[in-house]
């Protein structure tokens, strides 16, 4: 559980940063003395929080910042590290600090406890620096450019196939209505052509071929809407799969980073002197339990892992 004095001073800092009056710093100093907190550290966190708010406003507000291409701003990382250092100096656990600073409690950061905790460990282990961090995006394969002197392709029947990029089914079968007659004129023309062909001796096959073609085209027209509907369903399904794949990649990336940090901590502990191991054991145990929980390993399921 978060210590009362730390939570009180951070709550007061956020309150003053939200209002920002001439007496804000004086109020924070008084609250810090009351809670037996280092005054300079409290004022520094307040100034960092105010700067963070200004940067957010420059981005167009908190909603636009959350959906921007940045996952962390430099001032936000500095504020995060200062908050953790202050809380840990008062014997607070990292897990409790993460919960307290997150959206679940004081709302100092627009982040989840897991995001705050992972980023703090990365800063502590110097895996990242205090600079703006751009959100990672799923990789996209580049399409090969068509050769300017490429020869026309043929299908398995030896017929020519267009080398232009495929368009949607609706675009393929659409026609320019402005260049065509109205429906009545089209049907009248078909009727006249059929009559002319039927009046010519020995042209029965031509009439049959014409009517067969008309029937085939009308069948395709009937099937078109159903094919378009299925095509849209496939597009929607593909989008869902891409989103799911992106989420899985993000989870895998987070787990890989957590696993790497866990290995580094374990190596540092094992190769330390016996005295250093004894001194570091409480913090090492706490951080290891946190990382194991992030990887899905806990006391309840350890027998089944």
The pLDDT score that the predictor gives to residue 303 is: 55
Name the residue with higher pLDDT: 22 or 153.
22
The pLDDT score that the predictor gives to residue 103 is: 87
The pLDDT score that the predictor gives to residue 198 is: 62
Q: What does pLDDT average to over the chain?
A: 79
Instruction: State whether the Cα torsion 181-184-187-188 is positive or negative.
Output: negative
SS3 label, residue 216:
helix
CA gap 213, 204 in Å, rounded:
14
The pLDDT score that the predictor gives to residue 185 is: 66
Instruction: List own/partner pairs for 290-293 with CB under 8 A and 24 or more apart.
Output: 290/94, 290/95, 290/117, 291/258, 291/259, 291/261, 291/262, 291/265, 292/262
What are phi and psi for residue 160, nearest 5 degrees? -65, 140
Mean pLDDT of 223-232: 83
For 289, the token pair is 């339990």
The pLDDT score that the predictor gives to residue 188 is: 67
What percent of the chain is predicted at pLDDT more than 70?
A: 74
Least confident of 26-35, 36-45, 203-212, 253-262: 203-212
The pLDDT score that the predictor gives to residue 253 is: 83
Has residue 37 got a pLDDT over 90? yes
Has residue 152 got a pLDDT over 80? no
Q: CB under 8 Å to 229, separation ≥6 — which residues?
A: none
CA gap 87, 70 in Å, rounded:
26
Top-confidence range, 46-50, 259-263, 299-303: 46-50
Has residue 264 got a pLDDT over 60? yes
Top-confidence range, 36-40, 61-65, 284-288: 36-40
Q: Mind listing the pLDDT tens digit for each residue in 158-169?
A: 445 444 444 443
* Res. 199 pLDDT band, cuts 50 70 90: low
Name the residue with higher pLDDT: 197 or 41.
41
SS3 label, residue 154:
strand
* Res. 172 pLDDT band, cuts 50 70 90: very low
For 75, the token pair is 């001032």
Count CB neighbours of 70 within 10 A.
16
């Amino acid at each position: 559980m978060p210590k009362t004095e730390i939570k009180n001073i951070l709550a007061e800092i956020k309150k003053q940063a939200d209002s920002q009056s001439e007496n804000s710093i004086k109020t924070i100093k008084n609250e810090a003395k009351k809670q037996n907190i280092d005054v300079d550290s409290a004022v520094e966190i307040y100034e960092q929080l105010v700067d963070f708010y200004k940067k957010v406003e420059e981005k167009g507000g908190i909603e636009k910042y959350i959906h921007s291409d940045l996952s962390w701003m430099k001032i936000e990382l500095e504020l995060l590290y200062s908050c953790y250092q202050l809380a840990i100096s008062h014997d607070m656990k990292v897990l409790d600090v993460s919960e307290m600073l997150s959206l679940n409690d004081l709302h100092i950061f627009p982040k989840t406890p897991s995001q705050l905790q992972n980023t703090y460990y990365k800063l502590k282990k110097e895996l990242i620096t205090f600079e703006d961090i751009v959100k990672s995006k799923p990789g996209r394969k580049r399409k090969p450019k068509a050769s300017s002197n490429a020869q026309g392709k043929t299908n398995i029947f030896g017929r020519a196939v267009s080398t232009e990029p495929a368009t949607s089914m609706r675009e393929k079968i659409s026609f320019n209505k402005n260049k065509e007659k109205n429906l009545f004129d089209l049907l009248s023309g078909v009727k006249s052509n059929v009559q002319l062909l039927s009046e010519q001796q020995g042209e029965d096959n031509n009439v049959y071929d014409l009517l067969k073609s008309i029937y085939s085209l009308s069948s395709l027209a009937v099937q078109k809407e159903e094919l378009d509907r299925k095509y849209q369903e496939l597009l929607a399904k593909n989008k869902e799969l891409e989103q799911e794949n992106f989420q899985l990649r993000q989870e895998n990336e987070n787990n890989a980073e957590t696993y790497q940090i866990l290995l580094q901590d374990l190596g540092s502990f094992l190769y330390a002197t016996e005295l250093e191991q004894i001194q570091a054991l409480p913090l090492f145990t706490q951080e290891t339990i946190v990382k194991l929980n992030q990887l899905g390993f806990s006391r309840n399921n350890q027998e089944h892992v």
